[in-house]
Structure 1
Amino acid sequence: MAVITFVRHGITNHNIEKRAQGHTQNPLNEDGRTQAQFVAKRLSEEQWDVFICSDLRRARETADIIAGEIGKPVDDFDPRLREMDRGKIADTTEEERVARWGENWKELDMAQETHESMRMRGIGFIQDIASRYAGKKVLVVTHGYFLGQTLKELMRDELTGSELRNTSVTTIAQDGEKWVYLLYDCISHLPEKR
């Protein structure tokens, strides 16, 4: 049985500003690095066979912090784990998009990746990993929207995979022909906000 644990990267200024990140190489902010340290400590309590990460900077920074704590380097930086390609709107806020292209910008061709393409990319990754690493514990650092859309497709449940929080931990496992959650969007490692 393949078991895959997904971690969303730590928070960035782009997250706070609601700026489309897509394939931008923006870094974690200070809070994101702190979140990554908390999730790294949590993940160090388990043994991992394989460690894979998106090749985008915010995920790589999160993975570097985790690697230092779990004592295992990242085995592969896989571009299939990238966030949705936002095309022309990458690195913009809604206000900037309206100012640049008008209120109906969503009706224009912004060269964004389709949901279908992103979902198939995610499913392809999961199938590949499940096949190559059957019986192994696989740790994956990726992106929130990409992961959410992948989970919607994998679980055949459009109510799942929404608003996954920064450094949340989600673990899935094969149960015969289907996949099940062992853990979903868990942030118990983060201190409560006061």
Structure 2
Amino acid sequence: MLIGWVRHGKTDWNAEGKIQGQTDIPLNAEGISQAAALADRLSGEQRIWDAVVSSDLQRAYTTAQIIAEKLNIPLLEGDKRLRERYFGEVEGTMEHERHARWGKDWRRTANGVEPDAEVRARGLSALHEWRQDYPDRNLLIVSHGSFIAQVLSELCEELEDQHLTNLSYSILELQNDKWYPRLYNCTIHLNK
């Protein structure tokens, strides 16, 4: 089984440096172009994906729609478990605002920030369900940076912790009940 991980395309809040969390911000024109670039890349490679599933937040779901349409594969219903980490009162702020208000350790001091363990638990719950329901299907997941980073670090301890850029593409392969990276944080499709 292969699982692909794609971070959604760029939004205006990404461009402004605002943290989005579960605030439902749409893709901007650049984000739509980024999604099309990955869709073009994947359509020119050997077909490995059977379906696309994404967060139900519009920036991820729109990215997933663009990819699924180009690859002519099913787009499954948006899944709330694939949403970005909930950032509570921090959502909509820029880094300098967070540091000024809550300090550099804002993830621990601001109210309502979803803990790592909860983010990982909902991601692993979805993955476990898909392994049971679709053991012979390779799924491409479109989600969010902090969410993907948490799940990947849980599944593949040997992965280097990198900032996942918009429209980064990663692939994990399940072998003997262990996940192995085949591709990590790749953005070559954005360089064209």
Unaligned ranges ≥5, structure 2 = none
Counterpart-to-counterpart distance in 1, 2:125 and 2:170: 18
Counterpart-to-counterpart distance in 2, 1:9 and 1:128: 22
What letter is aligned with 1:30? Answer: A
Counterpart-to-counterpart distance in 2, 1:172 and 1:144: 16
- Alignment partner of 1:178 is 2:178: yes
Aligned counterpart, 1:26? 25
Aligned counterpart, 1:162? 162
What letter is aligned with 1:165? Answer: T
Counterpart-to-counterpart distance in 2, 1:120 and 1:144: 16
What is the Cα deviation at residue 16 of structure 1? 2.4
Q: Deviations over 1:6-43 (max 9, x none)?
A: 11111122222221110011111211111111001122
**Maintained 8 Å contact 1:9/1:36:** yes
What is the Cα deviation at residue 109 of structure 1? 4.4
How many percent of aligned residue pairs carry the same amino acid?
Answer: 37
What is the Cα deviation at residue 102 of structure 1? 5.4
Aligned counterpart, 1:87? 88
Counterpart-to-counterpart distance in 1, 2:105 and 2:164: 26
**Maintained 8 Å contact 1:6/1:140:** yes
Aligned counterpart, 1:142? 143
- Alignment partner of 1:151 is 2:128: no
SS in 2 for 1:76: coil
Counterpart-to-counterpart distance in 2, 1:29 and 1:161: 27
- Alignment partner of 1:44 is 2:43: yes
Aligned counterpart, 2:130? 129
What is the Cα deviation at residue 52 of structure 1? 0.6
Question: Given the two structures, how large is their TM-score scaled by the length of structure 1?
Answer: 0.88
What letter is aligned with 1:88? Answer: E
What is the Cα deviation at residue 48 of structure 1? 2.9
SS in 1 for 2:190: coil
Cα 1:161–1:83 shift into 2, 3 Å: farther
What letter is aligned with 2:180? Answer: V
**Maintained 8 Å contact 2:37/2:189:** yes
What is the Cα deviation at residue 186 of structure 1? 1.3
**Maintained 8 Å contact 1:151/1:160:** no
Counterpart-to-counterpart distance in 1, 2:104 and 2:191: 41
Cα 1:104–1:72 shift into 2, 3 Å: closer
Question: Given the two structures, how large is their TM-score scaled by the length of structure 2?
Answer: 0.89
SS in 1 for 2:56: coil
Unaligned ranges ≥5, structure 1 = none
Instruction: Select between 62-71 and 90-99 the one with higher mean Cα deviation.
Output: 90-99
